[in-house]
Amino acid sequence: MHEQPAYRLSPSQASTIDFARRDLELVRAADLASLESTALLMQVERLKSRLDDVLHVVDEIAVA
């Protein structure tokens, strides 16, 4: 099995991944049971947006 060369993320891609990681860490640290429904929905929408952003990065890498 041959190794593929390491892929270097662009600054934009790295930033996207970093933001997604930070948002995920914040949600994991939050006491979700104590949040009001509006705040909980905002958290879910933020994570959905970050997931979409990360999937776009994966698509960019896949075609590279």
Which of 17, 7, 1 has the alpha carbon at shortest distance from 56? Answer: 17
Quote the number of domains for the chain.
Answer: 1
Alpha helices in 3-36 (DSSP H): 11-29
* Domain-embedded: residue 32: yes
* Domain-embedded: residue 54: yes
* Domain-embedded: residue 2: no
* Domain-embedded: residue 6: no
* Domain-embedded: residue 3: no
* Domain-embedded: residue 1: no
* Domain-embedded: residue 25: yes
Alpha helices in 1-64 (DSSP H): 11-29, 37-63
Tell me the pLDDT tens digit for each residue of 1-52: 566 667 899 999 999 999 999 999 999 999 989 999 999 999 999 999 999 9
Identify residue 35 by its one-letter amino acid code.
L
pTM of the model: 0.81
53: domain range?
A: 11-63
